[in-house]
Amino acid sequence: MIVVSKSFSAASVSLKIGTLILFICLIIHVVGFTVARWASVTISVANNGTGIQTFYHAGLWLHCGCVDLGEISCICYSRGGDPGWFNAVQAMETIGLIGLSVTALMCLGLVFYKQTMVLKKVNIAIILSSVIFIVVGLIIFGIENMEDIQGMFEMFDKNDNVKTHGSLSMSFILCALSVSVCFFVCLPLLVIDLRTPLLQHSTLRNYIAQAPVQYSNQGQVIIPSTGQAQVIISPIGQQNLGFVPAYTYGQCVAPPQYAASGQDAHSHPEQTNGIPHKE
């Protein structure tokens, strides 16, 4: 009977490393998904030798306005009334995050519980789909957000006292980093693991020691030649562990001779069927 191993030791090195890196990517993506730093805009206003600097930070779920008056203070609001492209980005990033969470749990099950080719293939399909959703969401956000920022800059550039600067920010970079590592590191490792045969264990077998056994038969010691009886002899009452492929028998000899009364013990009297002849 062949049994697929369910232990940690049965998992390949590529699967273990891929699972560890995948969990790290998942944590990084969660941070980028939740923190309101997908895009940032800085507006500096100079007035009579004094300057006021304000910041705008946009996230997937919050947007924050901050002002620096010697100390930075911020007010954040939940997003609402966003354009359709932004809602599409939210949906794609959410689906991608769910997919990464599912594939991370599946990798954990493959490492510590059970490995099958079907689960491995499904796991690779999920992580690939998650990467595609996340990448599409990042591309849409990057293109549309930069167009909005450029329109904002054109409005403020007409005033010489106002300087603006805007760019994609920390959260966007973290999500892009996590999905890049998933695609270029985790996915190849899982493919390598898919091509690795599952570790299988056969049922235990008793191996027969290949050593000649000595037999004692009526005072004679017989040592089988090479290729003859190679066995393990169990004590009386226990089951033998091996079988005898060839047998070696002792030679039959006549019973010991007895000297008649008054006859030399070293003489050789006549025998009949092995019994000494009496005169």
Q: What is the pLDDT of residue 80?
A: 86
Q: What is the pLDDT of residue 258?
A: 52
Q: What average pLDDT does range 54-80 have in this prediction?
A: 89
Q: What is the pLDDT of residue 238?
A: 45
Assign 210 a pLDDT band (cuts: 50, 70, 90). very low
Q: What average pLDDT does range 122-139 have in this prediction?
A: 96
Tens digit of each residue's pLDDT (9 = 90 or more) over 169-181: 999 999 999 999 9
**Mean pLDDT, the chain, integer:** 76
Cα 97–Cα 78–Cα 175 angle in degrees, nearest 5: 30
Residue 97 corresponds to which amino acid? L
On the question of pLDDT at 81 being above 80, the answer is: yes
Q: What is the pLDDT of residue 46?
A: 73
Q: What is the pLDDT of residue 154?
A: 67
- Side-chain half-sphere CA neighbours of 265 within 13 A: 1
Q: Which of 107-116, 175-184, 263-272 reaches the highest mean pLDDT?
A: 175-184
Q: What is the pLDDT of residue 198?
A: 72
Lowest mean pLDDT among 114-128, 130-144, 171-185, 224-238: 224-238
Token code pair at residue 51: 């300057």
Q: What is the pLDDT of residue 197?
A: 81
Percentage of the chain beyond pLDDT 90 is 42
C-alpha–C-alpha distance, residues 85 and 258, integer Å: 118
Question: What are the residue ranges spanned by the domains of the chain?
Answer: 2-202, 209-251
C-alpha–C-alpha distance, residues 84 and 227, integer Å: 84
Q: Long-range contacts of range 144-151, CB-CB < 8 Å, 24 or more positions apart?
A: 144/83, 144/85, 144/86, 145/38, 145/39, 145/58, 149/39, 149/41
**What is the architecture, at CATH level 2, of domain 2-202?**
Up-down Bundle (1.20)
Assign 225 a pLDDT band (cuts: 50, 70, 90). low
Q: What is the pTM of this model?
A: 0.66
Non-local CB neighbours of 217 within 8 Å, separated by 6+ positions: 250
